[in-house]
């Protein structure tokens, strides 16, 4: 769980910006999106293979 403490003289907007950066750095949102719908292991393998193919095509 990410938390941010409001410093003296700090605005709410700057605290919210720090919180958003911390959440993004921790990868919380991507984890939530990943867990939002169940993916069977076979689908996960297919997606991983497709990503690997796309990555190799870029090189």
pTM for the model: 0.56
Task: Give the model's pLDDT for residue 58.
Answer: 86
In a domain, 7, yes or no: no
Number of independent structural domains in the chain: 1
Task: Give the model's pLDDT for residue 8.
Answer: 93
Tell me which residue of 19, 16, 14, 27 sits closest to 3, measured CA to CA: 19
In a domain, 50, yes or no: yes
Task: Give the model's pLDDT for residue 45.
Answer: 96
In a domain, 5, yes or no: no
Give the integer Cα–Cα distance in Å for 12 and 10.
7
In a domain, 6, yes or no: no
In a domain, 44, yes or no: yes
In a domain, 31, yes or no: yes
In a domain, 42, yes or no: yes
Phi, psi (degrees; rounded to nearest 5) at 27 = 75, 25
In a domain, 43, yes or no: yes
Domain extent at residue 31: 12-58
Percent of the chain with pLDDT over 90: 71
């Amino acid at each position: 769980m990410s938390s941010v403490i409001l410093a003296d003289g700090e605005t709410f907007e700057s605290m919210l910006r720090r919180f958003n950066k911390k959440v993004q750095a921790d990868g919380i949102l991507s984890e939530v999106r990943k867990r939002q719908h169940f993916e069977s292991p076979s689908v996960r393998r297919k997606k991983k293979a497709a990503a690997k193919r796309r990555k190799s095509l870029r090189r």
